[in-house]
Amino acid sequence: MPLPKGAKRGASGFATIGAVPPSALPKIPPPMPTSLDTLARQTSMGTPEEQAAAWERANGTAEFQREFQRLRAEIESAEAGNFSTVRLVRDPGVMGEFVFYRDGPATLAKYTSDPRFRAVTTGVDPVDLAELQQLWSRRMEEEASTISMMGSDGEGRLELAVGIEEAEFRQLAREKGWDISDPRLDFRFPGPRPQPFLAPALESLVRLFPRENNEAAIRLTALGRGRVVLEDGCFRIADARGRPGESLVMFARDSQLGLDEQGYLVVRTGNEDRVYRIGEPGSWGGPNGYDEDSEDVRALRKACGNDEIVNIAAPQSSVLFATPDPSWVLDYAYTKDITYERAWARVISCMERQIERGREPMDARDRCVQQYNGWDYRGEELPPPPGQ
């Protein structure tokens, strides 16, 4: 198997990849959308009066919202220990729903007879639920890298995101003596960890492809930017000149190392849409933590040293991150009365020219297409395809 484009093999046998050209924008469009975000269009277009009317249809009148919030504040204070939560429902009109642990309809009737508000009863003992929540909070502290997140759905169930696969977690529960049969517990487990290399020959190029051992329950969204390079088999964040920096890199649990259609080394995370070419400008969410005692971190230390580790989890090409949303391109197609396919080709070509002139990919996208491009349709149903 030939080396990936831009790669050189050193005397150690491992590869080095510096700065490479950015990924190409997709020439083939994704499937044309089959529906519109009607609410967004109706609340963004037309006269201020028409937009306000659309908001009222979706969320109720201003008078309804004031009464909803007034009731919530009063009931939350007066019914502490019985009141659980509130939510806005559409059944089919807009209604305010109050959730109580006991005697919901009778409790709400003490405060209002307005038919725009209704009550439901969960039948949950809030004291028991609080005790169960405290129990699992302590277990989370003991196994912070395993049980990643916990929340209540407001109706008596606890939702726990577990960072390891179900079989491993059940073994841990047996060892700890935990009862996980309580029907109020709703566990969410990750799928099997995929193989790290999409092409087996790539394994010989790197000292290690470091990945999280546990699935993260939530990703923070502060945007990081930079360029990841490969230096003598170790992944590092490059400095401003594109040279390997001091920070080592690790990736998400479900990341895989492969090649793109042009033959460059890429990291794919989760699905085919999340792709990053090693050596190109990219972005990622964070900050993401890591466990020094985890298997991959210990292996990374042994293979690449004790420099700072930055867990970038799921990086993405800056160019691909700016790929226009299909709904934007469909709106453009209706505006120009051309087919969706032709509109996609026109927008991508425009972005390529803008990027060649030195513009950032997101700026290039916004110069070539917008969410709304002049087509003022606000109907409920998608019209016949454009340009026919």
Q: What is the DSSP string of 68-108?
A: HHHHHHHHHHHTTTTEEEEEEEESSSEEEEEEESS-HHHHH
Confidence class of residue 21 from pLDDT cuts 50, 70 and 90?
very high
Q: What is the mean pLDDT of the chain?
A: 91
- Closest by CA to 246, choosing from 306, 314, 297, 289, is 306
Residue 310: its H or E element: strand 309-313
- In one-letter notation, the amino acid at residue 198 is L
- How would DSSP label each residue in 15-80? EEE---PPPPPPSSPPPPPSS--HHHHHTTSS-HHHHHHHHHHHH--HHHHHHHHHHHHHHHHHTT
> Going by C-beta distance under 8 Å and a sequence separation of 6 or more, which residues neighbour residue 57?
94
The whole-angstrom separation of Cα 257 and Cα 277 is: 10
Reduced to 3 states (helix: H, G, I; strand: E, B; else coil), residue 193 is coil
Q: What percent of the chain has pLDDT over 70?
A: 96
pLDDT of the residue at 151: 64
Residue 144 has pLDDT above 90, yes or no: no
Tens digits of residue pLDDT in 302-348: 999 999 999 999 999 999 999 999 999 999 999 999 999 999 999 99
The pTM score is: 0.82
Q: Are 64 and 116 in contact (CB under 8 A)?
A: yes
pLDDT tens digits along 175-208: 999 999 988 889 988 889 999 999 999 999 999 9
Strand pairing class (117-121; 255-259): unpaired
pLDDT given for residue 19 in this prediction? 94
Q: Which residues pair with 147 in a beta bridge?
A: 162
Residue 155: the pLDDT is 65
Instruction: Say what the pLDDT of residue 243 is.
Output: 77
The whole-number pLDDT of residue 141 equals: 77
Sequence spans of domains, the chain: 56-121, 126-188
One DSSP character per residue, 343-361 reads HHHHHHHHHHHHHHTT--H
Query: What digits encode the pLDDT tens for the residues 256-303?
Result: 999 999 999 999 998 656 899 999 999 998 888 888 988 999 999 999
HSE of 134 in the Cβ direction (CA atoms, 13 Å)?
Answer: 6
At 72, the pLDDT band (50, 70, 90 cuts) reads very high
151 or 44, which is more confident: 44
Alpha-carbon separation of residue 146 from 64, 309, 356 (angstroms): 44, 20, 46
pLDDT at 239: 82
* 328-349: burial string, b at 16+ Cβ within 10 Å, e else: bbbbbbbbbebebeebbbbbbe
Q: What is the mean pLDDT of residues 127-150?
A: 78
Closest CA to 230 of 277, 302, 298, 278: 278
User: CA-CA distance, 222 to 287, in Å (whole number)?
Assistant: 7
- The SS3 assignment for 163 reads coil
Per-residue pLDDT, averaged over 351-356, amounts to 97
* Residues whose CB is less than 8 angstroms from the CB of residue 328 and which lie 6 or more positions away in sequence, other chains included: 369, 370, 371, 373
Q: Is the pLDDT of residue 252 over 80?
A: yes
- Torsion angles phi and psi, residue 350, rounded to 5: -65, -45
